[in-house]
Structure 1
């Protein structure tokens, strides 16, 4: 293909958002995501929640897909009772983003899951989550923490980022049982799975941290390169 590949990025869906003198519902995406895609060589298309029946048609128009971070996934999606420390459900996002992931997997569209997006990828393939763990957020609300992650040699992630790196992180849930076909491709010092990938697929990767909050473009560049190669 010629030109920049079109990368779809899922969005938040917020009610009662203040816009100047207006208070309106809004589809939101922190600017770090489109800036990261642009800097890595892609064009951005925002994908706010929609009818899951339209997910395959949306993905068919894309060269690559990013499932963005956000609120906790409803534990009902992976057959678990709700922990008191799990946040309120984002029903529309869960349904839409799971449908986008399933469409990308079915079509071979390169896919990157970021934080919540990695967790949804795991759930889409039959995996489960730990509903609370400590030490992966900053002590101050609204601030990203930082910690090192170590790649697993021989993985797709290690091919893109072969060395230990310090990454921006803000999550209190994590992968528990891996979904079918997924392998862990990075870990933190406490053993938490920090990246997963699907070796049998064309290009599918999930990272538990937030590359849109860092200067390292290598993960997004790998997605954009895979989207361009299509």
Structure 2
């Protein structure tokens, strides 16, 4: 059997490595690579440059990874004081990747920022700093640490089928969240404070987004679903 090929969008950030290097880099937390590979798929990293979407016809599935905030101009809002890490070139590249994947019927998993992008391209909006709305830092408790909180999953949804349960604790690290849902976007899981934690496209069965970071947890369900959703290969 041919291994499915799963593309994963990557960050464009300045990084340090080795004894001397401090340069702009295309990078991704290794947990994404491990999570995709553990399903039997071959991960392919997709840098945020113009033209990367040309690779989509060669993919069997797409992961839109987490990262910095999306430019609020993409959803018609001014930039709030706490919005940070905006990379317009990444926004453009990932929207192109998603558009190409949807046109070709390739399954898509959006993680954290990736879930937010799934909402924005359908005309949805974001809350730019959740502590101002929910009154706590539950979703990003400590800098650089994936803490956890419980979520509740709606029954009889694609998300519930993937996870196999209605209540779970999830690894979390985000300060933004969904506000208005886009056209055809359905919320399927929530934190106890009402923040949307998962979505689906009601008209596209191969699209799921989660606000948490499944690559940092012990449940491989989301990545397994992505690979299992790939049509049979010769």
Per the normalisation by structure 1, the TM-score is: 0.94
Deviation, 1:87, is: 0.7
Where do 4+ consecutive residues of structure 1 move more than 4 Å?
none
Residue number in structure 2 paired with 1:61: 58
| Aligned-partner Cα distance in 2 for 1:229–1:175 | 34
> Does residue 157 in structure 1 map to residue 159 in structure 2?
yes
Residue number in structure 1 paired with 2:227: 224
**Structure 2 residues without counterparts, runs of 5 or longer:** 132-136
Deviation, 1:95, is: 0.7
Say which SS state the counterpart of residue 90 (structure 2) adopts.
Answer: helix
> Does residue 189 in structure 1 map to residue 192 in structure 2?
yes
Contact 2:9 2:47 in 1 (8 A): yes
Say which SS state the counterpart of residue 7 (structure 2) adopts.
Answer: strand
| Aligned-partner Cα distance in 2 for 1:229–1:198 | 22
> Does residue 199 in structure 1 map to residue 202 in structure 2?
yes
> Does residue 113 in structure 1 map to residue 110 in structure 2?
yes
Q: CA RMSD in A?
A: 1.4
Contact 2:6 2:62 in 1 (8 A): yes
Say which SS state the counterpart of residue 215 (structure 1) adopts.
Answer: coil
- CA pair 173-138 structure 1, distance change in 2 beyond 3 A: closer
Once the two structures are superposed, residues 155-206 of structure 1 have per-residue CA deviations (whole angstroms, 9 ceiling, x without a partner) of 1111111321100000010011111111011111111110001121140000
Residue number in structure 1 paired with 2:22: 23
1:72-221 equivalence runs, <5 A: 72-134=69-131, 135-163=137-165, 164-221=167-224
**Structure 1 residues without counterparts, runs of 5 or longer:** none
| Aligned-partner Cα distance in 1 for 2:216–2:28 | 13
Q: How many residues align?
A: 227
